[in-house]
Amino acid sequence: MTKFEALGLDKPLLDAITDLGFESPSEVQEKAIPILLENDTDLVALAQTGTGKTAAFGFPLIQKIDSKSRTTQGLILSPTRELCLQITNEIKLYSKYVKGLNVVAIYGGASISEQANQIKRGAQIIVATPGRMKDMINRGMVNISKIDYCVLDEADEMLNMGFMEDIKDILSNTPDEKFTWLFSATMPREVSTIAKKFMHNPQEITVGAKNSGATTVQHEYYVIGGRDRYPALKRLADTNPGIFSVVFCRTKRDTQRVAEKLIEDGYNAGALHGDLSQNQRDLVMNAFRKKQIQMLVATDVAARGIDVDDITHVINYQLPDEIETYTHRSGRTGRAGKSGVSMVIVTRSELRKIKAIENKLQTEFLSKKIPTGMEICEIQLYHLANKIKNTEINEQVDNYLPAINDVLQGIDREELIKKIISVEFSRFYDYYNKTKDLNISDRGERSEGRDRSKVEIPTSGSVRYFINVGERDDYDWMTLKDFIKETVGLGREDVFKVDVKESFSFFNTDAEHSEKVLSTFTEFKVDGRFVNVEVSNNPGGGGRGRGGRDRGGDRGRSSSRSRNKGGDRGRDRSRNNDNRGSRDSGGGYGSKKSKRRY
């Protein structure tokens, strides 16, 4: 008996699992599957990304559904179109031996009538983004009044993106007797609100890091070049529109400087450090308590004893000297049973400190990537659209409506929406449009760069490009190659070395095509989203290879040539940064000479 069989899964699923090459269940699968198969119960499962949550709910869902009935029995809500498609594909793979089972994906930016048709043909499982789902309910295109199971996947992300109201609406169209399975990486207050309001005595499982201290704090680190600390901080803030945070710096000077820069850049920020008068400090703290300040930049001493609940994020702009201090910092969040995130911005040379804290705290840190500019734009766009939707109308507006109508006369709805969104969105888009990837891998490579200013377009040989779509957009090297070929109007062999990563990709063409490629992808949109192509400053191994296939090696950790290049650059940068860092830290963390506690 295999481990999967022991969980209670039936033959069709076991056969599919064999095909998929899964050897043993992941922890969340091991915990969730038996509970969901044996009981009819609500469930709250907390587990990080990449722990196999899709199968944890997918397997039991598939097994419990009656594939002979055409009624829609299961609804899976997920935050983005990419995830929605990803889950749909996974469910299809899992259920390949289950006859008659249909899964349909519902998401914005694609034909709604086509999706409605697919549902009409019978969909026992629907995987949907909240916005489109609600739209289709309103138009009577779906019927979820008989579902038995509702899965809220990545619940924290959905709420972060502002889908609370949509989710409530959608759930109000489902029967009370259904079972709700909520999956989330973290448990912020909004998620527990949903759990309390819409679930009945849910069983709870938690997977992964068991911290000694506050179990509700998730620790994350982001590896960047030393000079990119501030831009990285901005991106972390922009990725979390509702952030309410304390940002810790090591010195009063840095604290003041970072706060000033944030204010200059339009954030609700304030500084808290010992050079301020008591009166000034009181003012800042009051503003912070009232949430007029979203990012409180503070020194450790000044922040001691901040007793504000609801802090969503602690950001370690720089790591403190002592591990104890780190514990105090991260303890500012995750209070009163709420969950929080402690983020650390580090250079590669500081990774040892992370290891040291992990050991001391018996906690695992998650290595995370600073989102790319385009990812932030997408998050902000959703956030903004939902903010507009959820805004309560101010009745006073009525008085001015005739005059406003005069001004806006002749603009149709579509255009008006675009304009309204652009008012805010352009700020992010203009800023992030051409920014580079800030991440440096744990092993010292900077992700293949795309700082256009440094790039010269070769006039002969082959040109390597960066494109901001990847696996998350459901591309593999073949489909991406076809997409580029068809969009630009190139021949079979003209696009090569296609290398698809999670959220972006690379490809080559001969230099003669570069103008055509770049002009095609200027202001180019798919489903309302900008698809951006730029010349990469990584040559990607030069000449024509065997096409996309050889990326298998690349992908593991890039071919020797590109690694050396990226690696050197990464090392240079962190060396610069080290000069300052290591003088401070007295000969390195973990070494015998070190007086510090890492």
| Binding-site ranges for ligand ADP (CB under 6 A) | 22, 25-26, 29, 47, 49-55
Pick between residue 53 and residue 313 the one whose CB is nearest to Mg ion: 53
Choose among ligand ADP, Mg ion, none what residue 51 binds, the Cβ cut-off being 5 to 8 Å by kind: ligand ADP
Q: Which residue has the tokens 């101010």?
A: 394
**Shortest spacing between CB 125 and ligand ADP, in angstroms:** 15
> Phi and psi (nearest 5°) for 571?
-65, -45
Whole-number Å distance between alpha carbons of 14 and 26: 15
Interaction partner, residue 55 (ligand ADP, Mg ion, none; CB < 5-8 Å by kind): ligand ADP
Tell the smallest beta-carbon distance from residue 21 to ligand ADP (Å).
7
Min separation Cβ 544 and ligand ADP, Å:
31
Distance linking the first and last C-alpha atoms of the chain: 46
CB of 154 to Mg ion, least distance (A): 6
Taking CA atoms, 532 is separated from 86, 181, 514, in Å, by 22, 37, 14
Nearer to ligand ADP, 88 or 256 (CB): 88
Q: How far is the CB of 62 from ligand ADP (least distance, A)?
A: 14
556 binds, among ligand ADP, Mg ion, none (CB under 5 to 8 A by kind): none
The answer to whether the beta carbons of residues 372 and 503 sit under 8 Å apart is yes
Q: Nearest distance from residue 183's CB to ligand ADP, in Å?
A: 7
Specify the DSSP element, H or E, that contains 531: strand 529-531
Q: Which is nearer to Mg ion, 91 or 303 (CB)?
A: 91
Of 22 and 425, which has the nearer Cβ to ligand ADP? 22
Structure tokens of 332?
Answer: 């500012």
- The minimum distance between CB 46 and ligand ADP, in angstroms, equals 11
| Contact predicate 173/145, CB 8 Å | yes
Closer to ligand ADP by Cβ: residue 26 or 239: 26
Contact status, residue 51 vs residue 208, Cβ threshold 8 Å? yes
Cβ-count burial of 83 within 10 angstroms (0-12 exposed, 13-18 middle, 19+ buried)?
buried
Q: CB nearer to Mg ion: give 53 or 281.
A: 53
Residue 60 binding target from ligand ADP, Mg ion, none, CB below 5 to 8 Å by type: none
Residue with smaller CB distance to ligand ADP, 25 or 449: 25
Q: Are 157 and 383 in contact (CB under 8 A)?
A: no
What does 22 interact with, of Mg ion, ligand ADP, none (CB < 5 to 8 A by kind)?
ligand ADP
Longest CA span, the chain? 76
Residue closer to ligand ADP by CB (options 53, 368) is 53
Which of 144, 151 has the CB closer to Mg ion?
A: 151
* Count of positions (residues) in the chain: 598
- How far does Cα 278 stand from its chain's mean position? 40
User: Among all residues, whose Cβ is closest to Mg ion?
Assistant: 53
Q: Choosing among ligand ADP, Mg ion, none, which partner's interface includes residue 508 (Cβ < 5 to 8 Å by kind)?
A: none
Q: How far is the CB of 324 from Mg ion (least distance, A)?
A: 35
- Interface ranges with Mg ion (CB under 5 A): 53
Contact indicator for 209, 425 with CB cutoff of 8 Å = no
Q: Which two tokens stand for residue 417?
A: 């929406």
User: Of these partners, Mg ion, ligand ADP, none, which one is at the site of residue 225 (CB under 5 to 8 Å by kind)?
Assistant: none
User: Which of 46, 94, 29 shows the shortest CA–CA distance to 67?
Assistant: 94
Distance CA 314, CA 218 (A): 10
Residues forming beta bridges with residue 219, ordered by sequence position: 342
Q: How far is the CB of 155 from ligand ADP (least distance, A)?
A: 12
Assess contact for 596 and 589: CB atoms under 8 A.
Answer: yes
